[in-house]
Structure 1
Amino acid sequence: MRKLQTKSAQISFLKSLFLILSIIAFTFGSGCVKDFEEESYYNVRDMDISADRTGAAFVDLNVTTYIEKSQGDPAKNTSLLLKAYSQESGLLEAQKEIKLGMLKKGETKSVSQILTLPKTGGYDLHCVLFEESVQKSNGEIKVYNLDALPAEVQEIGLEIPEMDFRVKAVEGGRVLVENDIYLTNEGRETSKDFRMLVKVREMDAGLLADKVWTRTGEIKPEATVIQSVNLTMPDQYNYIVEVLIWNNDTIVERGEGYIRLSPVTETKNRNVTQAREIQTSEFENVVETGMIPEEEHTEEGESTPGFSLPLSAILLCSAAILRRRFA
């Protein structure tokens, strides 16, 4: 009787052991237990805001977020998502995400992000910290009355990337030069029609040879226009052409170009330089060339659909011969 009880106890123990081992194997196989991985904890310690650039209609906000990792596995990547909600409508106005990489335990990291927002009212700025795809922490800061920020006077959006010069006439030792000024609007809105002063100054003496007032015209965002002026100057001198854009009584943009009608070159003996004589009249160009509209431009050599004239004649003759034969 005792042997039966002992055998029954052994069988019960083996069943229990088998059940425990099965549970452990299933748990490890299903990934429910990780190799003693430490849970990660993050804190958004603080957020700072500054205005990097203030235009007439937009403002660039520099948002700096301070993130602290208190504990956790250092081998996981993190990212920070910054979102701006309008306080008036509650709608999402802009968002930007940045990859932070792996943070070490006990590390505090500052992250700066630029958000471009309409300069109206205020915004609620939310930051959300992710580890891989899991949200770990968040923060919030508010900004008010952006429309009260004064626009930076210098930020008109216009740049002068290029200038061209063309000789139109040479007479009595004086040269008439057409100056093409390229104006590009790098801003986010159509520019105003600014005053523009073009001056020609002799390079060595600094004497002013000519100056002309004109206007930039209104330029659409990311567009480039060409404004042309005529300048008169004495021949056989070198000049600096200065272009100044005025906003009321303030110079807000400038550009420079060079006209060398008497360039200086070095001779074989490098201690001696001499001026080259330029026959300016050889560069006279009075032919007016206009811009070709995109919608009217077609490539040269583009053929018109249909048969050519010789092929059409051959086909007509063949048809006549066949008609006589079978008539």
Structure 2
Amino acid sequence: MGKKRIKPTHMLILMSIILLFSSGSGCIRSFEEESYYNIRDMDIAADRAGTSFVDLNVTTYVEKYQGDTEKNTSLLLKVYSRESGLLEVQEEVKLGKLKKGETKSVSQSLSLPKTGGYDVRSVLFEEEIQKGSGEIKVYNLDFLPADAQDIGLEISEMDFRVRRVEDGKVLIESDIYLTNEGKKTSQDFRALVKVREMDAGLLADKVWIQTGEINPEATVIRSVNLTMPDQYNYAVEVLIWNNDTIVRRGEDYIQLHPEVEIKDKTATEAKKIQTSEFENVDEYEMVPEEEYAEEPTPGFSLLLSAVLLCSAAVLRRRFG
């Protein structure tokens, strides 16, 4: 008895039935392997500790241990207060596409109030799908010592005005702009303002002042008078002291005898400055307290005279 041959039409029907059955049973699946990630580790360090805030650097190690396809990934860093549970800050960084077996380290910087502790959480996303997370805790930031030179104050600018020129000497009023870039009111620091001739390095004058307490994000002006010989060039330096340590420096220049390039730019020559032409005297100057006693007050004298005349009239009427 011979073998029966399957007709092509029957073969096509049979293959269609097999394909339909296999699809329903899950035998045929996508050849795209799903991606899996792991937050292997997290490190945290204090880059800078101020009096009221701290700059933290958080490093997250991301590993892709499964998945052939490469899709864009991102890491979202979220920081929660351990006391209130509220979200303090969050920052996102793009990682790009990771290959299977690749481990990538990601560093993120953030600034936080130096109070209590925080829960720092890294959340990994592939496209819009969360793929993993890791967490690290920070405790007792308020006990972290502040950097010795971090006072929150910056010397942002200086202005100079000629107040008087006399006998070859110049009296210059120096306005010093102090800005509090910290997050709380600054302390009252001592500051030394000194003026030094630029070529010889000789000190012409120096004055101590107090910075005063300055509110956060505020700028104040502290003024000092400096006396120096005319027709020299000077460097004005401001040194802010915290006890016995210089914690901030600022410098600017007064050129009363500057050098300028001549036309062919092959040499320089000194330019004579008529310092007296810049003399700036306020219309109403403060009078020293000791001078008030020497000058009579017209209004008070007239009043006193009127009182004496009235008293004399009363006495004459009573005893006349």
Q: TM-score, normalised by structure 2?
A: 0.76
Choose the corresponding residue for 1:234, options 208, 226, 229.
229
**Which position in structure 2 is the counterpart of 1:284?**
279
**Which position in structure 1 is the counterpart of 2:88?**
93
Judged with a 3 Å threshold, the aligned counterparts in structure 2 of structure 1 residues 98 and 283 are, in CA distance, closer, same or farther, namely: same
Structure 2 SS opposite 1:81: strand
1:208 is matched by which residue type in structure 2? L
**Which position in structure 2 is the counterpart of 1:243?**
238
* Structure 1 unaligned regions, length at least 5: 1-9, 27-32, 290-327
Whether the 8 Å CA contact 1:196–1:216 is kept in 2: the answer is yes
Choose the corresponding residue for 1:116, options 111, 117, 122.
111
**Which position in structure 2 is the counterpart of 1:125?**
120
2:223 is matched by which residue type in structure 1? S
CA RMSD of aligned residues (A): 2.8
Structure 1 SS opposite 2:100: coil
Pairwise mapping of residues 1-327 of structure 1 onto structure 2 (< 5 A)? 17=16, 36-267=31-262, 273-287=268-282
Shift of 1:238: 0.9
2:199 is matched by which residue type in structure 1? D
Identity rate, percent: 72
Whole-angstrom CA distance in 2 between matches of 1:16 and 1:283: 103
Whole-angstrom CA distance in 2 between matches of 1:238 and 1:86: 54
Whether the 8 Å CA contact 2:33–2:69 is kept in 1: the answer is no
Whether the 8 Å CA contact 1:197–1:243 is kept in 2: the answer is yes
**Which position in structure 1 is the counterpart of 2:3?**
none
Whole-angstrom CA distance in 2 between matches of 1:179 and 1:224: 16
Structure 2 SS opposite 1:281: helix
Whole-angstrom CA distance in 2 between matches of 1:204 and 1:181: 24
Judged with a 3 Å threshold, the aligned counterparts in structure 2 of structure 1 residues 34 and 282 are, in CA distance, closer, same or farther, namely: farther
* Structure 2 unaligned regions, length at least 5: 1-8, 285-320
Structure 1 SS opposite 2:34: coil
Shift of 1:288: 6.5
The size of the alignment, in residue pairs, is 272
Structure 1 SS opposite 2:277: helix
**Which position in structure 1 is the counterpart of 2:297?**
none
Whole-angstrom CA distance in 2 between matches of 1:163 and 1:252: 18
Whether the 8 Å CA contact 2:79–2:119 is kept in 1: the answer is yes
Shift of 1:265: 3.0
**Which position in structure 2 is the counterpart of 1:6?**
none
Judged with a 3 Å threshold, the aligned counterparts in structure 2 of structure 1 residues 83 and 269 are, in CA distance, closer, same or farther, namely: closer
Whole-angstrom CA distance in 2 between matches of 1:23 and 1:220: 75
Whole-angstrom CA distance in 1 between matches of 2:275 and 2:85: 66
Whole-angstrom CA distance in 2 between matches of 1:70 and 1:20: 33
Judged with a 3 Å threshold, the aligned counterparts in structure 2 of structure 1 residues 270 and 20 are, in CA distance, closer, same or farther, namely: closer
Structure 2 SS opposite 1:155: coil
**Which position in structure 1 is the counterpart of 2:294?**
none
Whole-angstrom CA distance in 2 between matches of 1:199 and 1:178: 12
Shift of 1:269: 7.2
